Amino acid sequence: MSDAAAVDTRVDLGGIALRNPVLAASGTFGYGSEFEPFLDLRRLGGFVAKSLTLEPRAGNPPPRIAETPSGLLNAISLENVGVEAFIHQKLPAIPDGVTVIASVFETEIDRYAEVCKRLTGVARVAGIEINASCPHVKSGGIEFGQDPKLLAQLVRGARRATGLPLVIKLSPNVTDIAAMARVCEGEGANAVSLVNALQALEVDIETRRPVLSNVLGGLSGPAIRPLALRMVWQAARAVSIPVCGIGGIEGPADAVKFLLCGATAVQVGTSNYLDPGVAGQIADGIAAYAARHGVARLTDLVGALEGVPG
């Protein structure tokens, strides 16, 4: 079987039916339409929109980005148009036939829940991804995703607020990623996605200051891929809900690695900046790999990693 077109690329991400396993990651794909000059969005499984808050938010002052070895450090903060503008201005601009997952981040659980409520029942919103990598102000800035109890409360709150497929995006800044995935499954999440950017720091030795105005930022890009692969493999072994793999995916081979490690779908992030057409090429490339290896259904690749303790 060497015809990529004949490969069944469909996957189900916790109730979100995807044409293929390749999504664009939140915060790296804008609200979708920015990519139309470069890419037919229908070639993707779909995309996760920029994370939304209840109110529109401005971000951090510049500098917001810095380059690191094979990585990108960013501190954009909560900048977004707000949930209402998303629903009424951004969503309608997205071409039909494109699967859209909304992403939510907030500083308090009830606000998370409120944004989820507003998104529920909106046509075109196929599911909600909860960005748990936000500092919980009351707990002195620890991320929701770093504390099992906080995370459980967050998932519970979101679960109560919406019947939509609920994907919890885990923070990688933890000791035990498997435990966090289990918490989400226990609270009724339909899937988990990981990893978000890793907390990191870059310094300018001439100014003696952090490069980013926000001091700390999130590290993304190829540099973190081996860390993300490890966490995805650990999470996928720990839960029975689907896992969405994210981190440093540059091409089809990288996406296949995540599938083999147990990811049902993947998200492409930073690479969209470097090459706005790359996500489509990755979708095609995975099918080509499957065809080359006589794999009829991409779901047959999920968790097919060999030579590992059962």
Partner 1 sequence: MADALQPAGAAATRGLPTPVRTEAEVLACQPEGGANRRLVLRVPGWPGFAPGQFAMLSPGALGGAPRSDPLLPRPMAVYRAPGGDGEVEILFKVTGRGTRLLADALPGQRVRFVGPLGLAFADPEPEERAILVAGGTGIASLYALARRLARAGGPGVEVLLGARSGADLMGRDDFAALDVRLHTATEDGSEGSRGLVTALLEAALQEGAPARVYACGPTAMMRRVAELAAARDRPCVVSLENAMACGFGVCLGCAAPLRGGGFALVCRDGPVLDAAAVDWERMP
Q: Minimum CB separation from a second copy for residue 118, in Å?
A: 31
Among 1, 137, 203, 296, binds a second copy (CB under 8 A): 203
C-alpha closest to that of 56 among 31, 76, 79: 79
Q: Is 184 a catalytic residue?
A: no
Give the C-alpha separation, 57 to 80, whole Å. Answer: 5
* Nearest residue (CB) to a second copy, 155 versus 164: 155
Phi, psi of 301 (to 5 degrees): -85, -20
Measured from the CB of residue 83, what is the shortest distance to partner 1 in angstroms?
14
Residue with tokens 């601009």: 93
Q: 308, 219, 293, 289: which is closest to 21 by C-alpha? A: 289
- Describe the crossing of helices 148-161 and 177-186 by its angle, rounded to 10 degrees: 30
Residue 257 contact partner, candidates a second copy, ligand FMN, partner 1, none, CB within 5 to 8 A by sort of partner: a second copy
Chain CA centroid to CA 59, Å: 20
Site string for a second copy, 233-262 (x = CB under 8 A): x--------------x----x--xx--xx-
Element (DSSP H or E) covering residue 278: helix 278-292
Task: Find residue 5's DSSP bridge partners.
Answer: none
Residue placing its CB nearer to ligand FMN in the complex, 50 or 136:
50
Q: Least distance in Å: CB of 249 to ligand FMN?
A: 5
258 burial class (0-12, 13-18, 19+ CB within 10 angstroms)? buried
CB 244 within 8 A of CB 26: no
Write down the least CB distance from residue 68 to partner 1, Å: 8
The answer to the question of residue 59 lying near partner 1 (CB under 8 A) is yes
- The residues binding ligand FMN (CB under 6 A) are 25-28, 50-51, 72, 74, 76, 103, 131, 169, 196-197, 220-221, 224, 246-249, 268-271
Query: What is the residue type of 98?
Result: V
**What residues between 2 and 61 interact with a second copy by CB under 8 A?**
none
- 8 Å CB contact between 92 and 9: no
Active-site residues: which are they?
A: 134
- Site residues (vs partner 1, CB under 8 A): 27-30, 34-35, 37-38, 56-59, 61-72, 74, 76, 79-81, 85, 213, 221-223, 250, 270, 272-277
The residues of the shown chain that bind a second copy, judged by CB under 8 A, are 68-71, 73, 146, 173-176, 198-203, 205, 207-210, 215-216, 219, 221-227, 229-230, 233, 248, 253, 256-257, 260-261, 289, 304-309
